[in-house]
Amino acid sequence: MKCTTSKAAPVSDTVAAGLAGLETAIALGANDGDRSIVSHKADPIVGLSAVVLLMASATYGYIVTGDCIDRKGGWNYVHNHAHALHEQEEEEFREERAKSPPPPGTGPRH
């Protein structure tokens, strides 16, 4: 079964929605002279639309990745998979380290 357990995409959507919401709040509080060339009435509408779309995308992402985690055996799978990856990276690091000579001055002392 191919699916992702990574929450990176929905988290980035959530952050983007927060930033869009902040920008919209600032636009709503700005004086007429402080606003950009874009229509004053369009600023909040565009901003709120972006917030709604980004939050819908984030919600969908959290649901899909949560379902994937459940199908793969729950959080134990995620933990075990992450632990296995870490062990593999550690082993690769040890192998590379064994192949290369030690830096000058760090070898055995006589």
The whole-chain average pLDDT of the chain stands at 81
Which pLDDT value is given to residue 29? 76
Residues 6+ apart with CB under 8 A from 9: 61
pLDDT at residue 65 in the model: 92
pLDDT in tens, 16-25: 999 999 988 8
**In this predicted model, what pLDDT tens digit does every residue of 23-45 receive, in sequence order?**
888 877 766 655 554 556 667 88
Give residue 98's region: left, alpha or beta (phi > 0; psi -120 to 50): alpha
State the DSSP H helix or E strand holding residue 9, giving kind and residue range, or none if neither.
helix 8-29
In this predicted structure, which of 5-14, 32-41, 61-70, 91-100 has the lowest mean pLDDT? Answer: 32-41
Mean pLDDT, range 91-95, rounded to an integer: 82
